[in-house]
Structure 1
Amino acid sequence: MTPWTWTPRPHGHRTTAAVALAIALTAAIQQPAGAEPRTPTTLTEVKAELQRLYHDAEVATDKYNAVDVKVRAQERRVGTLRSRIQATESNLTRLNSLAGAAAAAQYRGGGLPAEVQFVLDDDPESALDNATLTRRAQQSTQELVKALRGTREKLRTRTDEASAELKRLENNRRTMSADRRTIEQHITAAKRLESSLAEKQREQLAALEAQEAADAQAEWVDTGILDQVGTQATPAGRKAIAYATKQLGKPYVWGAEGPDSFDCSGLTSQAWLAAGVTIPRTSELQWAQLKHVPIATMRPGDLIIYFSDASHVALYTGDGKIIQAPRPGRWVYVSPAASMEILGVVRPDA
């Protein structure tokens, strides 16, 4: 489906006045000697550069989280393979120890001893097809030896599979480390830029950001959208909102999913997990895999996905508000739903 996209735009004289005031108050931020030509010199330029750096960091964070999900899944698969290898090795050891007994029994009377039949019949390793193996073993010790060789081949195959999984896991970890460095570079650059501002300039920057968010929200509300959207959450939606509300004030940390800190999708995925619904870990996958609903029919508990690359997500709580984990240096807080570019809405409990 094609999502209805909400893009905040300058809202008349209020935004113009705010920008003019910011520029007038700050004049220009002093550049250090030898600074690059593109260093921002006004608060509006600083704001734009911070938004770019933090957006890039959030994109990298989403990629990191996606790799982390794959790593954990591969770890589980490797663990399963190792368990199967261990079971096969145990089975092989038992069969080897009993092969001699089987041969001796056949030599004496042509049959299998009771203890061999019991092991073959009770063996939990499904790949050996025990019923068939038992019938064959009863016919000939040669068939039993053949089955043992087949077990060895299965063991080798499983070992190869486990090795391949481990190799892919190591490659993913290297990719994850590269993503980690990218994220840290963006965050460090943004923090360096913010720390270069005087206290008064930081206050003015915060006021400018708040004013622009309020202007965008006012424009969105003026469309009458809140008269159309749902106001009642489902029982699961209420649980998700209750969980997110309890996290207010906790810091944003990239890659975090609680309990002491969160990134944006860590908060939304854990909120819905608390409601008994498992959803994808990243905002990109939440956008790709969850049911899309028109903005006009969204309800509390739905997730609002932001920006054209689906790099940010927040939990809609009703009355035009969201709970979100915004970016490094900030905390989980309530903010206007339309303060950022809305890509669309998804529903976890559809």
Structure 2
Amino acid sequence: MIRNAIGRGGRAAVAVVALCAVTASAQGPAAAAPSPEPGPARPATLAEVREELDRLYHDAEVATDAYNAAEERAAEQSARVAALARETASGRAALERLTSRMGAAARAQYRSGGLPLDVRLLLSADPEDVLDEVGRARQAQHGVDGLLRERARVLKELRTKSDAATAQLKKLRGSRKTGADARERIEQRIAAAEALETRLEEKERRRLLEMQKDSADEAHAAFLKSGAFKAAGKGASEEGAIAVAFVTAQLGKPYEWAAEGPDSYDCSGLTSQAWAAAKRTIPRTSQEQWRQLPRVGLQDMRPGDLIIYHEDASHVGMYVGGGSIIHAPRPGRNITVADAGSMFVLGVVRPDRRP
């Protein structure tokens, strides 16, 4: 999809250049077409290339979290809109029934009208029947009053539900707009990163991978030196063991943004589905996992816990013991085992139901 978009953009650019050339020749030699602006220059050194790639993929990951959150909100809002629609339809049916009953009561009252009560008593052979009829008429009037009150209540509920549905639809449109904007940012960042990587020569790509590994190794060594993992490594809970088994079974599958399996995953799609396998529903995004799940100290970490990375909580991996995590790294990479300290650690959260 990204390549097709780039292809269309390229054809459009060619068309614009051709149009400029035709216009310039029509205006004569003095109106020569300006030289096309050069594209963005490749960073000068491999270190700068690595920094730029890290930035682009990080931005894509942040946007992926925004997209996932927007999609989750949109699904909830769509369900609420549908429920409100059903409730509104039920309310309208109740209103129609009330209206029908009120019409029947009004017709009955009309038929029982006529002469004044004193005249009817004088003319009737059995005045008690007339009084009984009057009593029934009064009861019917009370029934009509009750129907009127019920109709007013149903109308009020319908207005409330209609207003709520309108508000939910507005929120739904906002969530879909947020998701569309995030999708565009993701595709732009990934396209830019892929374009930058394709401009590297093979030996530069190999050297870049070495540099990335060296950087991760240095970060992990510094993290180990801090003593954070000294007491870590206690056994997993029963739920945690199921979650660890799930992520282990996904090793080698590709990263794909917004994916929740079974063939590909993004980072939080992997962790949320792993805990779903353990019958535990957790938030879909790494940022919400960090915000909502109970936090534990690094020294208390055990397999199945989630390590949240970067200051903006934009990445997550599952701790599997022995100082290692399993995670879905980024576009172009597969689910893999990595050192737990190979990225900046924000903290640890525990999805377990028990401490």
TM-score, normalised to structure 1, is: 0.78
> 1:73-88 counterparts in 2 under 5 A?
73-88=76-91
**What is the rounded CA distance, in whole Å, between the counterparts of 1:137 and 1:69 in structure 2?**
52
Paired residue type of 2:342: S
Q: What displacement does 1:244 show? A: 1.1
**What is the rounded CA distance, in whole Å, between the counterparts of 1:340 and 1:97 in structure 2?**
69
> 1:1-350 counterparts in 2 under 5 A?
34-36=38-40, 39-104=42-107, 139-349=142-352, 350=355
Match of 1:125 in 2: none
Paired residue type of 1:145: L
Deviation readout 1:36-81 (Å, 9 max, x if unpaired): 46x3122211111100110111111111112222111111211211
**What is the rounded CA distance, in whole Å, between the counterparts of 1:215 and 1:330 in structure 2?**
21
Contact 1:137 1:144 in 2 (8 A): no
Deviation readout 1:235-266 (Å, 9 max, x if unpaired): 11111111111211221111111222111111
Runs (5+) with no aligned partner, structure 1: 1-32, 113-135
Deviation readout 1:171-224 (Å, 9 max, x if unpaired): 221121111111111111001011111222212211221222223223333444
**What is the rounded CA distance, in whole Å, between the counterparts of 2:63 and 2:146 in structure 1?**
57
**What is the rounded CA distance, in whole Å, between the counterparts of 2:333 and 2:163 in structure 1?**
47
**Secondary structure at 1:314's aligned position in 2?**
strand
Q: What displacement does 1:111 show? A: 5.8
Relative contact order (C-alpha < 8 Å, sep 6+): which is higher? Answer: 1
Larger Rg: 2
Aligned residues: 294
Q: What displacement does 1:137 show? A: 7.8
Match of 1:124 in 2: none
Contact 2:229 2:298 in 1 (8 A): no
State, as a whole percentage, how many aligned pairs show the same letter: 50
**What is the rounded CA distance, in whole Å, between the counterparts of 1:111 and 1:337 in structure 2?**
83
Contact 1:105 1:111 in 2 (8 A): no
Q: What displacement does 1:154 show? A: 2.1
Paired residue type of 1:204: R
Contact 1:62 1:311 in 2 (8 A): yes
Runs (5+) with no aligned partner, structure 2: 1-36, 113-132
Deviation readout 1:308-328 (Å, 9 max, x if unpaired): 111111100000110101111
**Secondary structure at 1:345's aligned position in 2?**
strand
TM-score, normalised to structure 2, is: 0.77
Paired residue type of 1:84: E
Deviation readout 1:17-50 (Å, 9 max, x if unpaired): xxxxxxxxxxxxxxxx93546x312221111110
**What is the rounded CA distance, in whole Å, between the counterparts of 1:158 and 1:199 in structure 2?**
62
